[in-house]
Amino acid sequence: MDSKLVFSDSPKGSLLVHFAFEGAVSHLKGPSYFTGKKLESAFMPEKSFLLVGLGKKEEFNIDYLRRAAAKAVKTASAAKMPIVHFALLDGHKENEMVAVAEGAVLANYSFDKYKTDAEQKMFRIKELSFPVAAKKFEESIRETLLVCQNVFIARDLVTENSDVVTPKMLEEVSRKISGKHIKVRVLNEKQLRRLGFNMLLGVARASEIPPRVIIFEYNGNPSSKDKVMFAGKGVCFDSGGLNIKVGESMKDMRMDMAGAATVIAIMKSASELKLKKNIVGIIGCVENLVDSKSFRPGDVIKSYSGKTVENLNTDAEGRLVLGDILAYGARKYNPNVIVEFSTLTGAILGTFGSHCAGMFSTSDSYSQKMFDAGMATYERVWRLPLFEEYKEETKGERSDLRSIGKTRYNGSIFGGAFLAEFVENIPFIHLDVAGTAMLEEPKDYMPKNGSGFGVRLAIEFLKRV
Ligand code: BES
Ligand code: ZN
Ligand code: ZN
């Protein structure tokens, strides 16, 4: 999708969209029933006119604009109208216009690759139009549109079949984004063995497709030594391994590489935006399958970091993959902070559902920045504790560490505490996106399946560090 951005005061053939606060609708000549309640809409096809309510002014949240703009795009799409023109808002602030553009573009997406009937494919909006007076925000709007295109890459990768999005395919996608500003390095199976990524290799053992660790380096500020590292879980399919997933729980596990997809989209966005930051991305790409070669529960593995880990459940594979790449990334690059995305635990869904990601951090200041970035983008995160008692729980009996807790409680925190053992005292944020990276139901400007959660969040975080 590449919708054109235009600035015009006389848009022809477009759906004209006005937003209105509750009780402030009389000047808009809408139908009498329309009062401006939050996301209430009134579509007048004969006038190509749409009103969308923003609710009470004193309860306003900027995300309502994203949602209202999404509603406009969906209305235009259903009516097969290719151009949407947004009237200016009262006082038209920059962040508000950007939010409108963002909601509109994010809603103009559908994964239609496997629909054979053209009628069933979404009618895409071709042109987003704003009044000429909004032209002064053009640069910010274009930046947002650019990031949204990369959100679509993440969505596509998460939603696409697991037999298409393999570790090999993630390598190909990654190499495509390498260029003048971004260096891509791939550690293959042989190199991983030599380096001692034994936890990651254990997970990958049953797969016919060899694992890869892919590293991105973007140096947007060569005069500084500061750098931010993003890490991502790239389990292209998680069958659970010998602790095989049962019932319905396996069918969505093509999404278990969402963390890796997020990191790819972040790196691409950062380089295209030419952010003045040094950024390293690292993703561990494997398949967790079943075979006579499978790694087994109960065996102790020596990790890249040197710590030994009793692998107590082959379905807790994400932390093994991540433990090795985090330790490698921390040692090799010594970043100021590591932010890691993973669909790590089903338990985080039990806690937050799909409305926010779980955040676990060793740093108050970085996690505050991440929280603020979450509120600004509405890709929200909420911090849970890593108290010393939780850290104690990760101690092993026959080994340094154990991979899962002794009880079936606090599963998401255990995962966070385990990962924190591998970052060599570098400030660390683990985001458990198991509930947010893939949606069971569409919402507002997010489709069912891959949501692209985390890309906008990370770009906002980068602007704040
Ligand atoms: N990939 C799953 C987590 C997951 C579950 C993601 C549901 C998205 C939706 C992860 O590898 C896993 O299987 N975790 C186990 C951990 C357990 C064995 C300690 C879980 O959550 O049950
Ligand atoms: Zn698993
Ligand atoms: Zn998994």
- pTM of model > 0.95: yes
From the list 67, 319, 369, 402, the catalytic residue is 319
Residues having C-beta closer than 5 Å to ion ligand 2:
238, 315, 317
Core vs surface per residue 215-254: b (16+ CB within 10 A) or e: bbbbbbeeeeeebbbbbbbbbbbbbbbbbebeeeeeeebb
Q: Are the C-beta atoms of residues 252 and 137 closer than 8 Å to each other?
A: no
From the list 56, 205, 245, 302, the catalytic residue is 245
Tell me what pLDDT residue 1 has. 47
Q: Are the C-beta atoms of residues 329 and 335 closer than 8 Å to each other?
A: yes
Tell me what pLDDT residue 442 has. 97
**95-133, pLDDT tens digit by residue?**
999 999 999 999 999 999 999 999 999 999 999 999 999
Please, what is the average pLDDT of the chain?
Answer: 97
Alpha carbon of 264 to ligand 1 centroid (Å):
22
Closest protein CA for atom 3 of ligand 1: 345
Q: Are the C-beta atoms of residues 293 and 240 closer than 8 Å to each other?
A: no
Closest protein CA for atom 22 of ligand 1: 346
Tell me what pLDDT residue 287 has. 98
Tell me what pLDDT residue 335 has. 98
Q: Are the C-beta atoms of residues 277 and 336 closer than 8 Å to each other?
A: no
Residue 24 scores a pLDDT above 90: no
Distance CA 402, CA 300 (A): 9
Strand 212-219 versus strand 182-187 pairing type: antiparallel
Cα angle: 151, vertex 385, 404; to 5 degrees: 85
Residue 257 scores a pLDDT above 60: yes
Q: Are the C-beta atoms of residues 428 and 391 closer than 8 Å to each other?
A: no
**432-452, pLDDT tens digit by residue?**
999 999 999 999 999 999 999
Q: Are the C-beta atoms of residues 271 and 143 closer than 8 Å to each other?
A: no
Tell me what pLDDT residue 180 has. 77
315 lines ligand 1 (CB under 6 A): yes
Average the pLDDT over 75-86 and give the result.
97
Average the pLDDT over 21-37 and give the result.
89
Instruction: Map residue 412 onto helix, strand or coil.
Output: helix
Tell me what pLDDT residue 92 has. 80
In the block, tokens 């309502």 appear at: 64
**51-63, pLDDT tens digit by residue?**
999 999 999 999 9
Tell me what pLDDT residue 275 has. 98
Distance CA 132, CA 10 (A): 9
- As given in the structure block, the two tokens for residue 463 are 């602007």
Alpha carbon of 373 to ligand 3 centroid (Å):
26
Alpha carbon of 38 to ligand 2 centroid (Å):
40
Mutate to test the pocket of ligand 1, among 242, 315, 393, 406 (most ligand atoms within 8 A of CB): 315
Average the pLDDT over 220-239 and give the result.
98
Q: Closest Cα to residue 405, out of 299, 313, 294, 306?
A: 313
Distance CA 371, CA 37 (A): 29
Q: Which amino acid is at 159?
A: T
The yes-or-no answer on residue 319 being catalytic is yes
404 lines ligand 1 (CB under 6 A): yes
Average the pLDDT over 67-77 and give the result.
98
**369-428, pLDDT tens digit by residue?**
999 999 999 999 999 999 999 999 999 999 999 999 999 999 999 999 999 999 999 999
Q: Closest Cα to residue 359, out of 409, 301, 432, 294?
A: 432
Tell me what pLDDT residue 104 has. 98
Q: Are the C-beta atoms of residues 316 and 288 closer than 8 Å to each other?
A: no
Helix 138-159, helix 167-176: angle, nearest 10: 160
Strand 300-302 versus strand 308-310 pairing type: antiparallel
Q: Which amino acid is at 104?
A: A
Pick the ligand that lies closest to the CA of residue 297.
1
Tell me what pLDDT residue 248 has. 94
343 lines ligand 1 (CB under 6 A): yes
Mutate to test the pocket of ligand 1, among 239, 255, 345, 414 (most ligand atoms within 8 A of CB): 345
pLDDT class for 11, splitting at 50, 70, 90? Answer: confident
H and E: helices and strands count for the chain: 13, 19
Specify the ligand 1 atom closest to the Cα of 345. 21
Pick the ligand that lies closest to the CA of residue 312.
1
Alpha carbon of 329 to ligand 2 centroid (Å):
22
Average the pLDDT over 208-233 and give the result.
98
* % residues pLDDT > 70 (the chain): 100
Average the pLDDT over 283-311 and give the result.
98
Strand 428-432 versus strand 357-361 pairing type: antiparallel
pLDDT class for 12, splitting at 50, 70, 90? Answer: confident
Q: Are the C-beta atoms of residues 304 and 199 closer than 8 Å to each other?
A: yes
Q: Which residues of 132-251 form beta strands (DSSP E)?
A: 182-187, 212-219, 228-238
Pick the ligand that lies closest to the CA of residue 251.
1
Distance CA 448, CA 32 (A): 34
φ, ψ at 132 (rounded to 5°) = -55, -35
The yes-or-no answer on residue 332 being catalytic is no
In the block, tokens 């990654």 appear at: 174
436 lines ligand 1 (CB under 6 A): no
**Side-chain-side CA neighbours of residue 314 (13 Å):** 26
- As given in the structure block, the two tokens for residue 39 are 């996301």
- DSSP string computed for 282-325: EEEEEEE--STT---TT-EEE-TTS-EEE---TT--HHHHHHHH
**315-335, pLDDT tens digit by residue?**
999 999 999 999 999 999 999
pLDDT class for 91, splitting at 50, 70, 90? Answer: confident
Residues having C-beta closer than 5 Å to ion ligand 3:
235, 238, 256, 318
Distance CA 297, CA 240 (A): 11
Contacts of 26 (CB under 8 A, 6+ apart): none
Distance CA 76, CA 70 (A): 10
pLDDT class for 88, splitting at 50, 70, 90? Answer: confident
Q: Closest Cα to residue 5, out of 203, 140, 170?
A: 140
Alpha carbon of 214 to ligand 3 centroid (Å):
18
Q: Are the C-beta atoms of residues 413 and 419 closer than 8 Å to each other?
A: no
Alpha carbon of 247 to ligand 3 centroid (Å):
16
pLDDT class for 292, splitting at 50, 70, 90? Answer: very high
